Amino acid sequence: MAYHVRELEKFGCIELIGTKPRRGATEHFYRATKRAFFVGEDWVRIPRSLRESLIGNHLAIAGRYISEALEEGTFEARPDRHHSWTRMLVDEQGWTDSMAVLLEALDKLLEIQGDSSARLEKEDEPAIPLVISLMGFEAPSSQVAAGG
């Protein structure tokens, strides 16, 4: 893992924020400076072969989180947790509006996380580890062939 952390640092995705002596060695502490997320034009500029690999990694990680949360019972630990999967037929405007809604939701989620972090630093309240996964994509073309 230390190797991968060095790679992240080399590519400017994380930064060293502190060190502590531990068992005769020095432990290094990092924080992220970038999020693993590409928007619109940034995404289009990435070579296709790399895009597919990034999507594969992303979905594998999301799947692992969901499986582990189901196994450990945390997925259903809070009854107001959210899970929705919606298939729809939209026109071009509907598609653009839907993508805008997702981006807006993601921005708001990051704001909520920032506000939560500020409160957690001040107050003695247990932190809730939360995962949000959002996806909006064109559904398999077999549906269109069938007259969808």
Decide if residue 61 touches another protein (CB under 8 A): yes
Interface positions, 20-49, toward another protein (CB under 8 A): 35-37, 40, 43-44, 48
Rounded least distance, CB 41 to another protein, Å: 8
Phi-psi category of residue 12: left, alpha or beta, with phi > 0 → left and psi -120 to 50 → alpha: left
Residue that has been written with the tokens 């729809």 in this structure: 88
At position 37, the amino acid (one-letter code) is: F
Rounded least distance, CB 141 to another protein, Å: 5
Size of the site for another protein (CB under 8 A): 86
* 75 DSSP 8-state letter: T
Identity of the residue, 24 or 114, whose beta carbon is nearer to another protein in the bound complex: 114
